[in-house]
Structure 1
Amino acid sequence: MRLPSIPLPALLAGFVAVLVGYASSAAIIWQAADAAGANSAQIAGWLTMLGIGMGISTLILTLWYRAPILTAWSTPGAALLATSLHGSTLNEAVGVFIFASALILICGATGLFARLMRLIPPTLSAAMLAGILLRFGLDTFTSLQGHFLLCGTMLLSWLVAKLLAPRYAVVVAMIAGLVICLVTGEFSTDSVPMGVVLPEFTAPHFSLSSLLGIGVPFFLVTMASQNAPGVATLKASGYDVPVSPLMVVTALIALLLAPFGVFSICIAAITAAICQSKEAHPDPDKRWLAAAAAGVFYVLAGIFGASISSLLTALPVAWIHTLAGLALLGTIAGSLHQALNNERERDAAVVTFLVTASGLTLAGVGSAFWGMLAGGICYCVLLALRA
């Protein structure tokens, strides 16, 4: 079957979608892999397989349904991993990836996705996510202490771009930070050689504490904060695509590639909106071309994952912290708004947020799980008392 040529606006939309996705959260992926104890070569392999996995899944779904279906890694999930994997082994991390992808696959195959999401109050899911992301927001500003010029320039550039071109604010901050690093000589280019790095196979190890403390919250965050908004964005743009096959395809690919560092593949929301807009193509029936272009750019980004990893390793940690925090500011604000917007559920949401943000660890189980449990108990008790 001969594919139609891709118009320049659609090509650019696909390129920008991938650029924004990588610029806004590749630094968070790097932090998550580093927290799991991955070395520089292994992190490069993660980025390689993530790019290839997202490219393949995007192309399969887009070409099959002729709809702009863009996939992505779970940025909120990566943030959870970056804060929760400290002290875990790389093998345990892979076990968590497989466990979460298997749960998503089951939800997709059985149609449990919508029913499961209705069981968990959205306010508590949002509060847990806000608690997970709090450290990233704080790091954005604490980094000013030792790198005022670098971080201050990135913050100012982000603010100006927010006024003039909000969609590209994170990209502008990233470029501004790179310029400052070049001018001040803050690159450390001897860390990892540029080029193609083959991903390494990591055998999974399953431990009850990591599956409960990291795997369950990671699954919930991925479904509630990435897949659910991704499906909602697709439907809001007028594309009525069956949900279960999307979950099955993305989860199955993530499950197969998990031993190579693919922690998640989900339905994209923010970057997908770029390919689903009229700027990508005036005809809604042709906007799938932009997503198809994004799929190709994903694969190219994956092939050069070692170069992306080298860049992140060569840059100062303050640049990574500031970029990650800026990329997540909108998510933090939206999560807090959703968590605290319902007055009847506000107390339970605050408990969830504070316990999650505390970093509490009990019986080897991390704070995200205990935050959701504590908030759930408060929610049920207060609901019963008010009934």
Structure 2
Amino acid sequence: MPVSAMTAAAVGVIVGFGGTVALVVQAGQNLGASPLQVVSMVTALCLGIGVPGLLLSWRLRIPVILAWSTPGAALLAASALGHDWSTAVGAFIIAGLLMVVVGLVPAIGRLAARIPSAIASAMLAGVLLPFVIKLFLVFQTDLALAAGLTAVFLIARRLAPTWALPLVLVSAFAALAFRGQLALPADGGLFGALSPAIPHFDLKAAVSLALPLFLVTLVSQNLPGLVVLRTAGYEPPPGPLLLSTGAATVLLAPFGVYGINMAAIVAAICTGPEAHPDKERRWVVGVIYGGLYLAAAAFAAPLAGLFIVMPTGALALITGLALIGPLTGALVGAVGEPQDREAAVLTFAATASGVALFGIGSAFWGLVIGFAALATLRWRRR
């Protein structure tokens, strides 16, 4: 086995886990999860990535690289509707079941692939924008840390783009340790733990959380992830892959899993010739990647604990910098088709506004307004 296979898998895990675990912790806290439930959330997500990814890579003989849904975590962290943890878990199960249906029924999968990317990207951009704005609000309260981490991010993006977020993370921990602000929860323990919750199913949560969570995960993660595999020269079977990720979400949802999906950016690191020169043997990278996530699950308590007790400003900085890339991609996708730009802007503005009507959040209303505008504008052009 070439060293490059282990290196690519390790870099993928560091970038995927370290880059966005702060956002996952924020999502759990925003939904009312206790520190133990947040640890369970991170542990279960790592298991949901590691076990199916390892088995699928071995069974299909292609490098199946899974991840948690970063856009989904942003959606949950931005929710201002006051859902409790049990209700959120119920929404996770519904979102997972919707993905299972797409995996089981090819016609629905083909229909889902035709969802206008401009609307889905605009909704995602509206969800991500507030987190990036909060990054700059920290300049008012902690100028030194905000300016320092932003400088590290920009310089790293110029010199070593793949390592930008891990370097930001290391720099943040170093700065907080120097200030005496880095600690672990007193009762956090050393190993990961699973803490189940009884799901509560609520119609409003299904509409405002589950449906947008399903759509943003499908359009922004799963479909691009399949494209990455095809670009690398493979023919991934969409049905079994979507079915497997949806089933993993449903089974692990009581422990805090909100979305397991195909990776896109991280997959590009692990599926190219740089990862393994032999295309027919490159599936071992997926096996190693899955195994490393199982190791992360074993030590999820201290890994999550560092972010659970992190000062609010530092957490906002790390999260905002981590989402600059996804926000850029979403904005580009939103305005990529000239004929759909007006509808996309309406979707973006409605989602970013945070408006809530009838107890349903802005992500849903952004989609409603966007699809209505798109239908009207296309009808007018005809």
* Short-chain TM bin: over 0.9
Give, in angstroms, the shift of residue 371 of structure 1.
0.7
Q: 1:131 to 1:191 in 2, by over 3 A?
A: farther
The one-letter code of the counterpart of 2:169 is M
The answer as to whether partners of 2:86 and 2:198 remain within 8 angstroms in 1 is yes
How many residue pairs get aligned? The number is: 381
Residue in structure 2 matching 1:198, options 187, 193, 202: 193
Query: How far 1:86 sits from its partner (Å)?
Result: 4.5
Q: 1:151–1:177: 8 Å Cα contact kept in structure 2?
A: no
Unaligned runs of 5+ in 1: 1-5
Write the letter of the residue equivalent to 1:115: L
**Does 2:113 correspond to 1:117?**
yes
Q: 2:327 — aligned with what?
A: 332
State the match for 2:95 in structure 1: 100
Task: Report the Cα distance in structure 2 between the residues aligned to 1:184 and 1:350, rounded to whole angstroms.
Answer: 42
Q: CA RMSD in A?
A: 1.3
2:184 to 182, 189, 192: 189
**Is contact 1:194–1:310 with CA below 8 Å preserved after alignment?**
no
Alignment equivalent of 1:379, drawn from 368, 374, 381: 374
Partners of 1:279 and 1:234 in 2: how far apart?
14
Deviation at 1:106, TM superposition (A): 0.4
Q: CA deviation at 1:189?
A: 3.5
2: CA distance between counterparts of 1:193 and 1:217? 32
Counterpart of 1:212?
207
Aligned pairs (5 A) from 1:312-351:
312-351=307-346
Structure 1 position 311, deviation (Å): 1.0
* 2:370 alignment partner AA: G
Summarize the Cα distance change of 1:116–1:30 in structure 2 as closer, same or farther, 3 Å threshold.
same
Check whether the contact 2:185–2:305 (CA below 8 A) recurs between aligned residues.
Answer: no
SS of alignment partner, residue 323 of structure 2: helix
Structure 2 residue aligned with 1:367: 362
1:3 corresponds to which residue?
Answer: none
Answer yes or no: is the 8 Å Cα contact 2:347–2:370 preserved in 1.
yes
What residue identity is the alignment partner of 2:103? G
Report how far residue 197 of structure 1 moved: 4.2
**Deviations for 1:59-115, whole angstroms, at most 9, x for unmatched residues?**
111001111111111100111011126500111100110000000000000112221
Deviates more, 1:311-320 or 1:374-383: 311-320
Q: Distance in 1 between matches of 2:262 and 2:181?
A: 36
In the TM superposition, 1:240-259 aligns within 5 A as 240-259=235-254
* Superposed displacement of residue 192, structure 1: 4.4
Note the 1:120-269 alignment, pairs <5 A: 120-269=115-264
Structure 1 window deviating more from structure 2 (236-245 vs 186-195): it is 186-195
Cα contact 2:184–2:302 (8 A) shared by 1: no
The whole-number CA distance in structure 2 between the counterparts of 1:325 and 1:114 is 34
Unaligned runs of 5+ in 2: none
Determine the structure 1 residue equivalent to 2:292.
Answer: 297
Identity score, percent: 37
Shift of residue 287, structure 1, vs aligned partner: 1.7
Q: TM-score, normalised to structure 2's length?
A: 0.97
Structure 2 Cα separation of the partners of residues 85 and 94 of structure 1 = 16
Match of 1:70 in 2: 65
2:282 to 272, 287, 301: 287
Partner of 1:87: 82
**Which aligned segments of 4 or more residues in structure 1 are displaced greater than 2 angstroms?**
188-194
Contact 1:85 1:93 in 2 (8 A): no
Tell me how far 1:145 sits from its aligned partner: 1.6
Mapped partners of 1:279, 1:344: distance in 2: 39
Report the secondary structure of 1:97's partner residue.
Answer: helix
Deviations 1:93-143 (A, max 9, x none): 00110000000000000112221231x211111100000001111112111
C-alpha distance in structure 2 between counterparts of 1:93 and 1:281, whole Å: 40
- CA drift at 1:53: 1.4
| TM-score, scaled relative to structure 1 | 0.96
Deviation at 1:325, TM superposition (A): 1.5
Once residues 358 and 180 of structure 1 are traced to their aligned partners in structure 2, the CA distance between those partners, rounded to angstroms, is 34
Contact 2:49/2:260 (CA < 8 Å) preserved in 1?
yes
Aligned AA (1:168): W
Give CA-to-partner distance per residue, 1:325-377, whole Å, 9 cap, x none: 12211111111112123222111111100000000000000001101101111
Q: Distance in 1 between matches of 2:314 and 2:228?
A: 31
